[in-house]
Structure 1
Amino acid sequence: MEQAKYSVGLDIGTTKIVAIIGRENEYGKIEVLGVGKSKSLGVHRGVVNNITQTIQSIQQAVAQAEADAGLKIGSVVVGIAGQHIRSLQHSDYITRQDSEKVINHEDLDNLCNQVYKLVMLPGEEIIHVLPQEYKVDGQAEIKEPMGMYGGRLEANFHVVVGQVSSIKNVGRCIKSSGLDLGGITLEPLASSDAVLSQEEKEAGVALIDIGGGTTDLAIFKDGIIRHTAVIPFGGNVITEDIKEGCSIIEKQAELLKVRFGSAWPGENKDNEIVSIPGLRGREPKEITLKNLSKIIHARVVEIIEQAYVEIKNYGHEDQKKKLIGGIVLTGGGSQLKHLKQLVEYITGMDTRIGYPNEHLAGDSDEDIASPLYATAVGLLMDAIRNEEKQQLQEEEAAASPEAQLETADVLEGGTQETQAHYGGPRKSIFERWTDKLKDFLDNAE
Structure 2
Amino acid sequence: MTKKGCIILSNKLFALDIGTRSVVGIILTEQDGIYHVADLVTIEHKERSMIDGQIHNIVSVATVISEIKSILEERHGTLRRVSVAAAGRALKTMEGSMTIEIAGKPLFTSEDINRLELAAVQQAQQKLLSTASTADDYYYCVGYSVLHYKLDGDEIGSLIDQAGRSATAEVIATFLPRVVVESLLSALKRAGLEMDALTLEPIAAINVLIPPSMRRLNVALVDIGAGTSDIAITDNNTVVSYGMVPIAGDEITEALSNHFLLDFPVAEIAKRSLSTDESIAISDILGFEQQVPSSEVVAIIKPAIEKLASSIADEIKRLNNSKSPQAVMVVGGGSLTPLLPKELSIRLDLPENRVGIRGLDALSDVTLSEGIVSTPALVTPIGIAIAARRAPIHYMSVIVNEKTIRLFELKEMTVGDALLAANIKARQLYGKPGMGMSITLNGSLMTIPGEHGRSAAILLNDNPASTKDFISNDDVITLEQGKDGKDASATIRELIGDIVPIKVNVNGNMHKILPKIVCNGIPVGLDTIINDRDQIVYSHSTKLNDVLSELDIETSGLFEVYMNNKRVVLENWNTKFFIDNLPVPPDHLLNDGDEVRIELHSSPTVGDVISALDQSTQSTASITFNGEPVTMTNSGSSILLNGHQVDNSAIVHSGDRLTIAETVHRPFLFSDVFLFVDYSLPTTASTSYQLLRNGEPIGFNDPIFSGDALEIKFNS
TM-score range, shorter chain: 0.5 to 0.7
Q: Which amino acid aligns with 1:294?
A: A
Alpha carbons of 1:317 and 1:166: their partners in 2 closer, same or farther (altered >3 Å)?
A: closer
Contact map agreement 2:207 2:383 (CA 8 A) in 1? yes
Alpha carbons of 1:178 and 1:260: their partners in 2 closer, same or farther (altered >3 Å)?
A: same
Partner in structure 1 of residue 309 of structure 2: 304
TM-score if structure 1 supplies the norm length? 0.67
Partner in structure 1 of residue 533 of structure 2: none
Whole-angstrom CA distance in 2 between matches of 1:383 and 1:258: 30
Whole-angstrom CA distance in 1 between matches of 2:66 and 2:380: 19
Whole-angstrom CA distance in 2 between matches of 1:172 and 1:195: 30
* Corresponding position: 1:237 with 2:251: yes
Q: Compute the displacement of 1:257 (Å).
A: 0.2
Partner in structure 2 of residue 377 of structure 1: 382
Secondary structure, in 3 states, of the residue corresponding to 2:368?
Answer: coil
Q: Which amino acid aligns with 1:353?
A: I
Partner in structure 1 of residue 348 of structure 2: 347
Q: Compute the displacement of 1:221 (Å).
A: 1.2
Q: Compute the displacement of 1:255 (Å).
A: 1.0
Q: Which amino acid aligns with 1:243?
A: S
The gaps in structure 1 that reach 5 residues or longer are 94-102, 143-153, 263-267, 394-418, 434-445
Whole-angstrom CA distance in 2 between matches of 1:389 and 1:49: 25
Whole-angstrom CA distance in 1 between matches of 2:171 and 2:389: 26
CA RMSD of aligned residues (A): 4.4
Q: Quick one: which of 398, 402, 411 aligns to 1:422?
A: 411
Alpha carbons of 1:210 and 1:289: their partners in 2 closer, same or farther (altered >3 Å)?
A: same
* Corresponding position: 1:128 with 2:144: no
Cα-to-partner distance string for 1:181-233 (whole Å, 9 max, x where unaligned): 23333322222222223344212111111011110011111222222111111
Contact map agreement 1:219 1:228 (CA 8 A) in 2? yes
Whole-angstrom CA distance in 1 between matches of 2:71 and 2:119: 42
Partner in structure 1 of residue 20 of structure 2: 14
**Which has the larger share of strand?**
2
**Which stretch shows the higher mean deviation, 172-181 or 118-127?**
118-127
Q: Quick one: which of 166, 182, 201 aligns to 2:215?
A: 201
Contact map agreement 2:225 2:248 (CA 8 A) in 1? yes
Whole-angstrom CA distance in 1 between matches of 2:267 and 2:175: 35
Whole-angstrom CA distance in 2 between matches of 1:209 and 1:45: 14
Question: Which structure has the greater CA radius of gyration?
Answer: 2
Partner in structure 1 of residue 31 of structure 2: 25
Contact map agreement 2:143 2:241 (CA 8 A) in 1? no
Q: Compute the displacement of 1:354 (Å).
A: 1.6
Whole-angstrom CA distance in 2 between matches of 1:307 and 1:14: 19
Q: Which amino acid aligns with 2:340?
A: L
**Which stretch shows the higher mean deviation, 298-307 or 161-170?**
161-170
Q: Compute the displacement of 1:302 (Å).
A: 1.4
Partner in structure 1 of residue 289 of structure 2: 284
Contact map agreement 1:24 1:384 (CA 8 A) in 2? no
Q: Which amino acid aligns with 2:27?
A: I
Instruction: Count residues in correspondence.
Output: 364
Partner in structure 2 of residue 80 of structure 1: 87
Q: Which amino acid aligns with 2:356?
A: R
* Corresponding position: 1:364 with 2:368: yes
Q: Structure 1 vs Structure 2: percent identity of aligned residues? A: 19
Q: Quick one: which of 42, 49, 57 aligns to 1:50?
A: 57
Contact map agreement 2:140 2:178 (CA 8 A) in 1? no
Q: Compute the displacement of 1:305 (Å).
A: 0.9
Cα-to-partner distance string for 1:98-150 (whole Å, 9 max, x where unaligned): xxxxx9xxxx99x98996794323535322333669x9xxx9799xxxxxxxx
**Which has the larger share of helix?**
1
TM-score if structure 2 supplies the norm length? 0.44
Whole-angstrom CA distance in 2 between matches of 1:365 and 1:388: 28
Whole-angstrom CA distance in 2 between matches of 1:157 and 1:4: 43
Cα-to-partner distance string for 1:356-379 (whole Å, 9 max, x where unaligned): 455564543484753202221222
Partner in structure 2 of residue 333 of structure 1: 334
Q: Compute the displacement of 1:388 (Å).
A: 9.6
Q: Compute the displacement of 1:17 (Å).
A: 1.6
Whole-angstrom CA distance in 1 between matches of 2:11 and 2:97: 39
Contact map agreement 1:220 1:226 (CA 8 A) in 2? yes
Partner in structure 2 of residue 323 of structure 1: 325
Whole-angstrom CA distance in 1 between matches of 2:237 and 2:98: 19
Q: Compute the displacement of 1:258 (Å).
A: 0.5
